[in-house]
Amino acid sequence: EEEQEEERDEGGEEEESQELLSRSLAAACSLKGSGTDSQPEEELTIRYVRYESELQMPDIMRLITKDLSEPYSIYTYRYFIHNWPQLCFLAMVGEECVGAIVCKLDMHKKMFRRGYIAMLAVDSKYRRKGIGTNLVKKAIYAMVEGDCDEVVLETEITNKSALKLYENLGFVRDKRLFRYYLNGVDALRLKLWLR
């Protein structure tokens, strides 16, 4: 009888831990902001949408141009977005685009499928609400659907918040790239193995 009770307890604990995991994943991927920085009474509703049309390009370019140290031409944006539209996501508050991620997925060394996060930007007014994390998760889930083996990206070695965001999602530091950016700053290549 004691063994049966222990088995029931263990089964209940397992179900409970799976329920907790499901809830924490749902919370991490929720479409609501945490609202910690402003207006504590109001809950910020953030919608995540996949890229759908060229009409969204100016919003993406505006966000990324403001945030990233590298100037990109319209052709660079089009290269990524037109070839891999399923790997481009936008975060919307009402009709305003407040975040964007642009990625690609192709073969690396003819051996495995590598995802690449080319650009990630969140409007400074909406940072620290989980938007960047949710955009990266959405992109990774889309890459997994595309049978991705690993995901890589580069970020400035001085960008502590980006490093923290990616490392919290399981990325590891793979390589230091000296004077990688036009501003002379070193980059770190980060990698996430999916298989």
Nearest Cα to 165, choosing from 150, 155, 175, 180? Answer: 155
Secondary structure E strands in the chain: 47-50, 88-93, 96-108, 112-122, 150-156, 172-177, 187-193
Residue type, 153: L
Say whether pLDDT at 8 is over 80.
no
Say whether pLDDT at 160 is over 50.
yes
Instruction: Tell me the sheet residues that pair with 100.
Output: 90, 121
Does the reported pTM lie above 0.75? Answer: yes
- The pLDDT assigned to 43 comes to 76
Say whether pLDDT at 23 is over 80.
no
**Residues near 47 by beta carbon (within 8 Å), at least 6 away in sequence:** 31, 91, 92, 93
* Contact (CB, 8 A) for 86 and 142: yes
Cα separations (Å) of 173 from 39, 70, 143, 154, 191?
A: 36, 21, 20, 10, 7
Report residue 140's pLDDT band, with 50, 70 and 90 as the boundaries.
Answer: very high
44-149 has which fold? Aminopeptidase (3.40.630)
- Give phi and psi for 112, each to the nearest 5: -150, 165
pLDDT one-digit tens code per residue, 112-126: 999 999 999 999 999
- Give phi and psi for 127, each to the nearest 5: -75, 165
